[in-house]
Amino acid sequence: MDPLNINLGSISVFSQYAVSAARKYVDLVEAQITQAHADMSSSALEEYKRRANLDETDYDNYVTIVDRMFEEDYLPILRFTEVIYVYMVFETYASGHIAEIQNLRRDKLDILKTLKSKNKCGLVDAARIYFKDVLHWSLLNDGEWVILREIAEVRNCIVHNAGIVRDSKHRDMIYNLAKRTWRKQSVGIEIDHFQGKDIGQPIIIHQRFLAFCLDLLERFFNALIKETHDEFWKKK
């Protein structure tokens, strides 16, 4: 959708900017992650060199432990916050678009709340029902809506289960997402298994997963903006 054709009074302007800002946010966080790791490792190595008569065991205590702490503690926390933020973009702006559309239709603004209650579902499923069954808009195909729901469950697992997938109410959806591919590679999440069983460690999020999520959100909002423009703004 050409940004120049978007009605400037529409939330479409803000949702497009939000996805773009989310990409920049992810890039910024990843750059900071890389720099922080390098700084921590460099400081640990300098401290090791200042000490006299140290052996290989001491190197592990000074330097290797820093890398281990980074990989096991800091990196997962930072990536978790990125997932939460990216999903928040969908949550905030999908809800905003629906409220705007309902206003243009002169219909109930709280339709999402009604759909969630009636269908006993979360935001993704309520949005899917709204766009497919109420508006008859084809923004995503059935498989893409399933993936969006799986992404939502990764977010829920992080928020409610500290990222431990086997404790999640809908863990099978996350297991399924981990098996998916994107551009002929993994979507970018890992779940540690031993002898075929989830060992209960927090899910591992790679930068690729954020790119995967943002690609889907960008396609969703572009399709939504086009449909809104064609249905409402183009006719004014």
Asked whether residue 209 is assigned to any structural domain, the reply reads yes
pTM for the full model?
A: 0.85
pLDDT at 105: 92
Residue 4 lies in a domain: no
The answer as to whether 87 is a domain residue is yes
Structural domain containing residue 67: 10-233
Determine, yes or no, domain membership for 222. yes
What's the pLDDT score for residue 8?
47
Structurally, the chain folds into a number of domains equal to: 1
Q: Quick check: is 5 in a domain?
A: no
Q: What is the predicted pLDDT for the residue at 167?
A: 96
| Tokens describing residue 161 | 């289960």
pLDDT of residue 7: 58
Residue 110 lies in a domain: yes
What integer pLDDT is reported at residue 198 of this predicted model? 96
* Per-residue pLDDT in tens (0 to 9) along the chain, 236 residues: 454 455 545 788 889 889 999 999 999 888 888 888 888 888 888 877 777 676 667 777 777 887 777 777 777 888 999 999 999 999 999 999 999 999 999 999 999 999 999 999 999 999 999 999 999 999 999 999 999 999 999 999 999 999 999 999 999 999 999 999 999 999 999 999 999 999 999 999 999 999 999 999 999 999 999 999 888 877 65
Give, in degrees to the nearest 5, the angle at Cα 66 between 60 and 72: 115
Nearest CA to 94 out of 80, 79, 111, 81 is that of 111
Q: Is residue 3 part of a domain?
A: no
Residue 1 lies in a domain: no
